[in-house]
Amino acid sequence: MEDPTSKEKPGVTLYALHHCNHCKKAKAHLADRDVNLKTIYVDMLSGSERNDTLRHLRRINPSVTFPTIVIAGEVIVGFKPGNIDSALKRHHHLP
C-alpha cells in the first residue's frame, strides 16, 4: 500500500521474459526516461514466487502476455511507447 505522505513517485514495474525482444525494448524505453523501474523476469522465477507472480499477472492481464507494465497501478500490455509515455506523464514520472 502506498504511503500518501511519501514524496516518492509511485513505482513502475515491468513484467518480462528475459528473451523477449518487446520486453527488452520496453525496458530500454523506460530506462531512457530515468524512471524508478522494478523488472521482474517471470521466466527466471520458480516455485511459489513464480506461481504467486503468475496469479497476480492473471488478475491484471488475463492473457498473461509480455511485456506487462504497471505504472502507479495503471496496466499497459505490450510495448506501446505512446501509451507508456502518456501514463508516465499522468503519474508525474515525465514533465
Distance of alpha carbon 8 from alpha carbon 19, whole angstroms: 31
Residues 6+ apart with CB under 8 A from 24: 16
Distance of alpha carbon 88 from alpha carbon 9, whole angstroms: 10
Radius of gyration of the chain (CA): 13
Distance of alpha carbon 59 from alpha carbon 6, whole angstroms: 27
pLDDT value of position 93: 76
Domain boundaries 12-90, CATH class: alpha beta
Domain residues of the chain, as ranges? 12-90
Per-residue pLDDT of the chain (95 residues; tens, 9 = 90+): 333 334 455 589 999 999 999 999 999 999 999 999 999 999 999 999 999 999 999 999 999 999 999 999 999 999 999 999 999 999 987 76
pLDDT value of position 2: 38
In which residue are the cell numbers 518487446 written? 22
Q: What is the pTM of this model?
A: 0.87
